[in-house]
Amino acid sequence: MLISGTELMYLNGAKQVDSQAEAAMASMQVHGVPQTPSNFSVWYAYHSGQNPDLTRTIEVLVSNNCPIDDQTLDQLYEKYFRSPVADMVLCDTSIRARETLKTVLDLVERVRSDASGIGAAINDISTQLHTNVSGLAELIDSLVEETGKIAGRSERLGLDLKQSVDKIGALERTLQDVRREATTDGLTGIANRRYFDMSLQTMSGDAMNSGDDLSLLLVDIDHFKKVNDTWGHATGDEVTQLVAEALTQAVKGQDCVARYGGEEFAVILPGTSIDAAVRVGDNVRTALGRRLFVPRTAPQAVCTVTVSVGVACYEPGESLSQWVQRTDAALYQAKRSGRNRVVSAGVPCTWSPK
């Protein structure tokens, strides 16, 4: 029995898929990765090379002997395979995209059939000219009529194609909006915790590859509970927005400012040493200390907003959870030492109010 080229291609593809699946299962066993559906998705994509960023991230983790624990696996799956906030919208967008593409294909097919029909009509008229010169006027009228038909179809076709292009543009904008909303904090407009986790994973991998410094700041608003209890949560929201604005103004380039949770913020500073990161934290603390805060919701509550800052520099091969814990410990030390100060982890360098 002969096998067509299409069937042979399919069989070869199936064999390749089986081979990659076997490699993924074997690799999961070597690294002690539980064989769950989500973990298999990550490992299969790694072995198939479907996602270069995922492949590079896992290679860095393996080469640096980093533990591939449940937290790391969850982060990889969350980053590369799942977007809980956007799943429903992306599904709907995907359906509409397929419908729009089908419309475009139908239009293209219509062009082909129109051209074929007009060609046949013109050939028929040309034949009649050779055999029936006496009916020339009538034949010319027929040619004008057929030409008018294609002109009308072409005009309508142009409008239909333009509408399809507009739909595709709207779909692209929808996707951009979904991505932005899925990674943006609604109150402050800066990155949210999800985007922070993604950036931390990516930037730590880049730092391990390049050998560049990578620093992390955790910033906590001092006495935030008292603000809420005294003047209400609306005033607390204003204070949160004020600190987010101050942090945004203090960074530049590829730096990432995110709302870490509640009254706490995180700042990732690629290419930044521990001393430079401490200066960034102190610049934010100083800038806030110089401003008198007058909330719109409580004009009588004139006060100064202060923050405590913990700083730590990433150590190559260190797990992300350990790095965050060291930074959080420095932040706790800053708050325990009297607040309104910057404390760095692992370096004897503590900034306090002048």
- pLDDT in the model for residue 276: 95
Among 73-77, 235-239, 251-255, the range of highest mean pLDDT? 235-239
pLDDT above 90 (res 339): yes
pLDDT-derived band at 39, boundaries 50, 70, 90: confident
pLDDT-derived band at 102, boundaries 50, 70, 90: low
- pLDDT in the model for residue 257: 96
Q: Which position has the token pair 């109150």?
A: 187
| Nearest alpha carbon to residue 217 among 182, 262, 250 | 250
Cα(351)–Cα(354) distance, integer angstroms: 9
- pLDDT in the model for residue 351: 38
User: Residue ranges of the domains in the chain?
Assistant: 5-80, 87-182, 212-351
- pLDDT in the model for residue 1: 38
pLDDT in tens, 70-97: 777 877 777 776 554 445 555 555 555 5
- pLDDT in the model for residue 341: 96
In the structure encoding, which two tokens stand for residue 89, read together? Answer: 């919208």
pLDDT-derived band at 36, boundaries 50, 70, 90: confident
Percent of the chain with pLDDT over 90: 30
For 175-189, what is the mean pLDDT? 77
Task: Give me the numbers of helices (H) and strands (E) for the chain, helices first please.
Answer: 11, 6
| Nearest alpha carbon to residue 190 among 246, 271, 233 | 246
| Nearest alpha carbon to residue 81 among 123, 103, 50 | 50
- pLDDT in the model for residue 10: 40
For 110-137, what is the mean pLDDT? 55
For 190-202, what is the mean pLDDT? 90
- pLDDT in the model for residue 149: 62
Q: Which position has the token pair 């990161």?
A: 277
- pLDDT in the model for residue 145: 63
pLDDT in tens, 200-214: 988 988 888 888 999
pLDDT above 50 (res 2): no
pLDDT-derived band at 113, boundaries 50, 70, 90: low
Q: Which residue has the higher pLDDT, 354 or 113?
A: 113
- Weakest-pLDDT range from 3-17, 104-118, 135-149, 322-336: 3-17
Domain 212-351 has CATH 3.30.70.270: yes
- pLDDT in the model for residue 350: 37
Q: Which position has the token pair 């960034």?
A: 280
Residues 229, 209: contact at Cβ < 8 Å? Answer: no
pLDDT above 70 (res 157): no
- Weakest-pLDDT range from 34-48, 181-195, 270-284, 316-330: 34-48
- Weakest-pLDDT range from 34-38, 53-57, 139-143: 139-143
In the structure encoding, which two tokens stand for residue 345, read together? Answer: 């982890």
Residues 310, 329: contact at Cβ < 8 Å? Answer: yes
Cα(192)–Cα(276) distance, integer angstroms: 24
pLDDT-derived band at 11, boundaries 50, 70, 90: very low
- pLDDT in the model for residue 316: 79
Enter the pTM of the model: 0.57
For 159-165, what is the mean pLDDT? 61
